Amino acid sequence: MDPRLPETDLVIFDCDGVLVDSEELSCRCLAEAMGQVGIEMSTERVLELFLGRSTTALLDYCQSVGKPLPATFLPELAHQVRETFRAQLKPIAGIAAVLKELKLPYCVASSSALDRVKFSLELTGLAAAFGQRLFTAQMVRHGKPAPDLFLHAAGAMGAAPRRTLVIEDSVSGVTAAKAAGMKVWGFVGGAHYRLADGSALLRQAGADRIFAAMTDFWMEG
C-alpha cells in the first residue's frame, strides 16, 4: 500500500516514451525505412499514425493503402532501431527515482516486441527494476487500443482493473487503459512531444491526469 496512491494496488508502465525516451528515435527510423520502400511519410505523420501501436497496425495500414511491406522490412527495421538505440537511447529523466520510491507492485505493458523491451531496459539500466514483470502485445490477441494487454498484465499481477493505474504516453494506450476500466495518467515528457501537443491529445483520449516530468509523479493535479 502506498498512501500517495490511494485505491491503487498496481501501477502499469508503458515502456516507449514513459520509461525510455525512444519514440522520436524509433519513429524517425520507421519514416526513413518506409521511404526506402516507396512510402513517403514524415516522422510527425508516423507519430500520428503509429505511436503506441504494434507492428500489426503498421502492416495493416500499408496493406490498406495498397503498399504491402516486403518480408524483409520488419527485420531490417528492428536492426536499424537497435543500432539507433545503442547509440542514442536514454531513460526518461527521473524514472529511476520514481521506481525506487514506489511502494506498490508495478510492471511493464508495451506494444513493442519483448526482445526490444528487454533491450531498451537493459541499455538504460532499468531492467533490474522490472525483472520478469514484462508484458507485450505478442502475448494477447489484440494490441492497444484494445484493453487486452492491460487486462492480461493486471490479471497476471493479481490486481483488479479498477485498482490499477496505467502510465501512458499515447492515445492508443490511454484508450486501451480506459477500455480496461483502469485509471490512466498521460505522460508528455518524451522528446516526441516536441512535435505535437500531447496534453490535448491524451486529455481528449480520456487521461485522468497529464504530467510532463517524472519529478511531478507524486504531485496531485
The pLDDT tens digits for 63-122 are 898 889 999 999 999 999 999 999 999 999 999 999 999 999 999 999 999 999 999 999
Task: Give me 159's grid cell.
Answer: 490486481
Alpha-carbon Rg for the chain in angstroms: 17
Indicate if the pLDDT at residue 43 is higher than 80: yes
Residue 3 banded pLDDT, cuts 50, 70, 90:
confident
Mean pLDDT score of the chain, rounded to an integer?
92
CA angle (28 as vertex; 146, 66 as ends), nearest 5: 65
Asked if pLDDT for residue 56 goes beyond 80, the answer is yes
Q: Tell me what the mean pLDDT of segment 190-210 comes to.
A: 89
The C-alpha atoms of residue 52 and residue 112 are separated, in whole angstroms, by 8
Q: Among residues 35, 32, 16, which one has the least CA distance to residue 108?
A: 16
Nearest to 168 by CA among 149, 195, 141: 149
Residue (of 48, 53, 55, 106) closest to 78 by Cα position: 55
- Which pLDDT score, from 0 to 100, does residue 196 have? 73
Better-predicted residue by pLDDT, 217 or 23: 217
Secondary structure of 85-120 in the HEC alphabet? Answer: HHHHCCECCCHHHHHHHCCCCEEEEECCCHHHHHHH
- DSSP code string of 3-72: TTSTT-SEEEE-SBTTTB--HHHHHHHHHHHHHHTT----HHHHHHHHTT--HHHHHHHHHHTT-PPPTT
Q: What is the mean pLDDT of residues 15-32?
A: 92
Torsion, Cα 150 147 63 198, to 10 degrees, reads: -80
pTM (two decimals)? 0.89
Percent of the chain whose pLDDT exceeds 90: 73
**What's the pLDDT at 219?**
77
**Confidence (pLDDT) at 49:** 86
Looking at residue 82, its pLDDT comes to: 92
Q: Are 139 and 170 in contact (CB under 8 A)?
A: no
- Cell, residue 34: 518506409
Which band of pLDDT confidence, cut at 50, 70 and 90, is reported for residue 220? low
Sorting pLDDT into bands at 50, 70 and 90, what band is 198? confident
User: Quick check: 50 pLDDT over 60?
Assistant: yes
Q: How confident is the model at residue 4 (pLDDT cuts 50, 70, 90)?
A: confident
Label residues 132-155 b or e (16+ Cβ within 10 Å = b).
ebbbbbbebeebbbbbbbbbbbbe
Strand partners, 123: none
